[in-house]
Amino acid sequence: MGLDRTFYRRSPQQRPQQNVTFNDVRKRFDFRSIAIGRWVTEAEKARAAGLFYDALVDLMTILQGPELLVSLRGTLAFQYGTGGRPGVSAHYEPATRTFALAKNAGPGSIAHEWFHALDHYLADKAFSDASGKRFASEAWLRDATPVPHPINDALFACFRAIMLDESGENPSDLFRASKAADAANGCLYYAEPAEMCARAFEAFVQDASIANNFLVAGTKATEEAKLGLYPSGAHRVRINGAFRRYFDLLGRALHGQPV
């Protein structure tokens, strides 16, 4: 899914100017830094900057938050076409709080990797005893000590909806499918709390009225979806509702409104 293809976008948000640069991206969202690989051509850089800018605007609109939500208050760095990991088109690096897209790759992965960044950012804000290396979703599952706050309570409700069934007593269908996939592959990946929550967030973003398949794709018709590795049916509806409540509260707080 390289940058040479055409991406579908349906959004009320339009760019203030036709041509945007990664410098425009950094200035609007206040990323800590943006690094571009030396092998990225000017044409590739220009196309990628526009697509990334639109994707972040759409993400911000879906979440009903301000720009500082996207850059996590200026703590998040972004890299495009620099280094990367073999076989990985996009990833989030906790040690440096960096979100990275490989050159000519990574479209559709932005929502997933951005949620990893948010999940990591929230760990020590939602829990009093979570280390800087942990993700909030993992801390919740491991019974870390929660910081009492209505927004945190709404976040925990998201984790509960994703990882547990409606009774709150048993593993969810998503967890069971993820565990089965890991057993078949002989590894632990799909059933990790951070991975389940990132995939659930992808589904929430893809179900929004705004559509952008550079931002998110693949939660409905892919092989992973057919294996149950994305929420579906009533479970998906329940998770989407929990995310909607959480981001409504968070957005109001970030806009300076009472929660």
> How far apart are the two ends of the chain, measured CA to CA in Å?
40
* pLDDT tens for the 259 residues of the chain, in order: 455 568 899 999 988 777 899 999 999 999 999 999 988 899 989 999 999 999 999 999 999 999 999 999 999 999 998 755 555 578 899 999 999 988 765 678 999 999 999 999 999 999 999 987 899 999 999 999 999 999 999 999 999 999 999 999 999 999 999 999 999 999 999 999 999 999 999 999 999 999 999 999 999 999 999 999 999 999 999 999 999 999 999 999 999 998 8
The predicted pLDDT at position 1 comes to: 41
The predicted pLDDT at position 28 comes to: 96
The predicted pLDDT at position 61 comes to: 97
**42-63 vs 22-29: helix crossing angle, rounded to 10:** 30
Decide: 230 and 203 in contact? Cβ < 8 Å. Answer: yes
The predicted pLDDT at position 3 comes to: 56
Q: Cα 79 from chain centroid?
A: 16
The predicted pLDDT at position 105 comes to: 59
- Phi, psi (degrees; rounded to nearest 5) at 50: -65, -45
The predicted pLDDT at position 121 comes to: 97
The predicted pLDDT at position 10 comes to: 94
Q: Which pTM value belongs to this model?
A: 0.95
Residue 166's nearest CA partner among 174, 249, 142, 154 is 174
Helices (H), 64-192: 67-70, 110-126, 136-141, 150-163, 173-185
The predicted pLDDT at position 84 comes to: 54
The DSSP annotation for 112-131 comes to HHHHHHHHHHHHHHHBTT--
